[in-house]
Structure formats: structure tokens, C-alpha cells
């Protein structure tokens, strides 16, 4: 995820909607990450261990897909939940909206990540991750809060507004998108939970931006047109549904005080 300076920052050449002065101050809004030895950190560790049986399953494979925030691949992440195709050619304003809000999500988590520099789960438990090629980069990027979760929940909130008739499926997919980071062993439960907090704060701010609101309205029309044309998702939605039907990451209660 990119750092934010005085103007909307580019991710992959794409600018976010929000300038720095309009971004929520997530260092002020979020609590610090759970301290070692705390009940909250015990829950983080127990949840991490509970995800290990999902390794090499269909859910693990979906987590690998969810780790890829590059475009055009990331644009299709919610296509099954929407039951519609999302491409730069057929839904250009929606495609652009997803890319620009990804940049905003990266900017929003930059300060708390740099402030807390929290070690990721694999650095603590020594277990493997779902994208080993990313390990070196992830070691230098703070775990708290989860940038992927922020992006996924941002998209879920926006897409549920664009397609309210598909809101349940979209929000379920958005929750699973964040949980994929626990399955991958690269984020703690508290990282994921607070990533959703960042997303909610950011989406509220996005709604005051005229360019965002214009793209939002255009995306609604594009999605309706895609449905009229019968443009179905490119992804294998049956396999995705089977993966999502597996037991979700457990969130057990710790026994410590």
C-alpha cells in the first residue's frame, strides 16, 4: 500500500479521490494494536492457529486470489457476488472507481502501519504464508491495520450501495476478503477488524467528494447495462462458492485474563 503525501497518491499510476487533508486520521481513530500478553492478543493468536486447517484447501486458494490487488484481476473479486462482469472495457467507470478507492485505502492505512510497525503473524509463529513471494516485502510493512481488508470492505460498502439487491452477497464476500488475510497467515484478527473500521471511516469521507459521487452514479448505470446485456462473471463462481462454504475462520474466546 502506498504512502500519502499532500495530494491523492498514485497506486499503479492511479490517483485516489481524497487529498491528505480529507483522509481520516486513523492513528487518532484506532486504538493501538493489542499488546503482547493481553487478552486481545491471545485471541489474535488463537484465531491464527484456528485457520491452519484451511491450508491447501479451496479456501486457501481463494485467499491466494484475494491477495492479488493488481488490476485487472482485482476488479473481478466481487463479480460473483454481483453476478455481473467487471472489466475496463465493459464497465470503465466502475473499474476506475475500484482502482481509485484502492489507492485511497492504501493511503488511509499508511500512517498507522508506519506508526505501530506491528509484526505479522508469520513473523511470530514461523508458519508459512499463502504467497511466499511476498514474504520479504511483508516483513517491512506493518501488520496493523490490514490494507487488504480496508480495500475489500471499502469495495463491499460501495458495491452494496451500487447494487443494493445484491448487498448480502457483496457484504459476505467483503468479510471473507478480509478473512483471507488470516487464512494467509499475514494478518491478525485485530488487524482485519480494524481494517473494516478504516474502510467505514473512509467511505463516509468519499461521499463528500464530487468525483467519487459522479463515478458512483455512473457505475450504477454501467452495472445495470451489463446485466441487461447478460455479461456474466469471468471468474469460476462455483469454485468460489464452494470455497466460501467452508467453515469460516474461527474467532474463539481466549482463556487468559
- Cα–Cα distance between 100 and 75 in angstroms, integer? 12
| Catalytic, out of 187, 196, 209, 215 | 187
* ω into 200 cis (within 30 of 0): no
Among this protein's residues, is 181 annotated catalytic?
A: yes
Residue 240: count of CB within 10 angstroms of its CB: 21
8 A C-beta contact, residue 118 and residue 142: yes
Instruction: Judge whether 166 counts as a catalytic residue.
Output: no
Q: And the C-alpha cell for 158?
A: 460501495
Is 191 marked active-site?
Answer: yes
CA distance 12 to 256: 44
The residue annotated as part of the active site, out of 66, 104, 191, 215, is 191
DSSP-derived 3-state class of residue 188 = coil
Annotated catalytic residue within 111, 118, 120, 148: 148
Residue among 181, 196, 209, 215 flagged as catalytic: 181
Does the active-site annotation cover 207?
no
- As given in the structure block, the three cell numbers for residue 132 are 511466499
Active-site positions read 148, 181, 187, 191
Amino acid at each position: 500500500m502506498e504512502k500519502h503525501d499532500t495530494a491523492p497518491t498514485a497506486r499503479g499510476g492511479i490517483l485516489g479521490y481524497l487529498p491528505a487533508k480529507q483522509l481520516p486520521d486513523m492513528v487518532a481513530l484506532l486504538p493501538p494494536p493489542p499488546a503482547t500478553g493481553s487478552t486481545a492478543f491471545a485471541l489474535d493468536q488463537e484465531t491464527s492457529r484456528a485457520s491452519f486447517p484451511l491450508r491447501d484447501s479451496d479456501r486457501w486458494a481463494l485467499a491466494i486470489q484475494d491477495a492479488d490487488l493488481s488490476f485487472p484481476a482485482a476488479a473481478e473479486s466481487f463479480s460473483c457476488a454481483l453476478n455481473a462482469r467487471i472489466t475496463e472495457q465493459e464497465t470503465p467507470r466502475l473499474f476506475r472507481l475500484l482502482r481509485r478507492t484502492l489507492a485511497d485505502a492504501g493511503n488511509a492505512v499508511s500512517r498507522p502501519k508506519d506508526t505501530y510497525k506491528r509484526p505479522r503473524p508469520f513473523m511470530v509463529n514461523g508458519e508459512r504464508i499463502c504467497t511466499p513471494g511476498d514474504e520479504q516485502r511483508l516483513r517491512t510493512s506493518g501488520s496493523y491495520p490490514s490494507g487488504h481488508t480496508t480495500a475489500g470492505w471499502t469495495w463491499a460498502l460501495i458495491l452494496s450501495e451500487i447494487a443494493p439487491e445484491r448487498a448480502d452477497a457483496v457484504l459476505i464476500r467483503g468479510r471473507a476478503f478480509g478473512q483471507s488475510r488470516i487464512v494467509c497467515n499475514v494478518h491478525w484478527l485485530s488487524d482485519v477488524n480494524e481494517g473494516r473500521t478504516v474502510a467505514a471511516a473512509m467511505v463516509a469521507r468519499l461521499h463528500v467528494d464530487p468525483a467519487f459521487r459522479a463515478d458512483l452514479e455512473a457505475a450504477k448505470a454501467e452495472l445495470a447495462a451489463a446485466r441487461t446485456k447478460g455479461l456474466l462473471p469471468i471468474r469460476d463462481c462455483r469454485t468460489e462458492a464452494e470455497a466460501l462454504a467452508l467453515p469460516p475462520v474461527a474467532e474463539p474466546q481466549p482463556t487468559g485474563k
